[in-house]
Amino acid sequence: MGKLSATLAHEIRNPLSALKLNLNYLKMSEEEFDPEVIECLNSCVEAADRIQDLIENTLEFSRTPTKDEKEISINEISIQAVDILTGTAKKKNIGIISELSETIPMVLINKNKILQVFINLITNAIDASDKNSMITLRSYLNSKKDVIFEIEDKGVGISEEAKEKIFTDFYTNKRNGTGLGLSVCKKLLEESKCEISFESEENNGTKFRILFPKIITI
């Protein structure tokens, strides 16, 4: 099953790239279209992005671990993730606030993996949040000089019972969820020796925290 889904996901990737490229091309001439056409176009872009996320998570789920890490800036990846998800957040009028420390060092990780993790966590935060609320992204150095990244929402929170299960493959309580988002995050982060934890209170919000290992220079 793993092999079949990975093959399928892989094969969908190319036509999906073509679809997204053409949609982006159409969006460039947006001002020439009627509002209904623009709305259709935006729905198509959103649907294509959703397929892309599913494909990436399915591929990550069945991929064998690789080590292709470089020194990267967490803040830059965070900004990229926000760019990708701004449209989705805007639909619910959710603001994303970035409180990024300029003084944190680079971390050793694969850029695409951490982008995928940030997208999965911010998407969950958007899903959990009410309209007109705020999500905060924070990077900082803790007292032990570890680089920390946090995603905090003021949404529905996670029940005590669900807290035990959220990292389990295919656990979801969403109508259209696959339940792969968090298990893929955990897998990707463990491969790079990062730690993920969370605090959550029902009806009060959730904070996911990632701790990146220090780069040891000899």
Ligand X SMILES: Nc1ncnc2c1ncn2[C@@H]1O[C@H](COP(=O)(O)OP(=O)(O)OP(=O)(O)O)[C@@H](O)[C@H]1O
Closest distance to ligand X from the beta carbon of 105 (Å)? 27
Please, where are the H alpha helices in the chain? 2-28, 35-62, 74-91, 111-128, 160-163, 181-191
The closest alpha carbon to 153, from 130, 129, 127, 121, belongs to 129
- Contact between 155 and Mg ion by CB under 5 A: the answer reads no
C-beta closer to Mg ion: residue 107 or 196: 196
How far apart, in whole angstroms, are the C-alpha atoms of residue 127 and residue 163?
17
C-alpha torsion 19→22→27→29, nearest 10: -160
Task: Pick one of ligand X, Mg ion, none as the site partner of residue 125 (Cβ within 5 to 8 A by kind).
Answer: ligand X
- Which class for 160: exposed (0-12), middle (13-18), buried (19 or more C-beta within 10 A)? exposed
Binding site for ligand X (CB under 6 A): 57, 120, 124-125, 128, 153, 155-158, 162, 166, 171-174, 177-183, 206
- Contact between 205 and Mg ion by CB under 5 A: the answer reads no
C-beta closer to ligand X: residue 104 or 113: 113
Q: Which stretch binds Mg ion (CB under 5 A): 94-102, 163-171, 176-184, 196-204?
A: 176-184
Q: Which of 58, 78, 124, 133: binder of Mg ion (CB under 5 A)?
A: 124
Residues that bind Mg ion (CB under 5 A): 124, 181
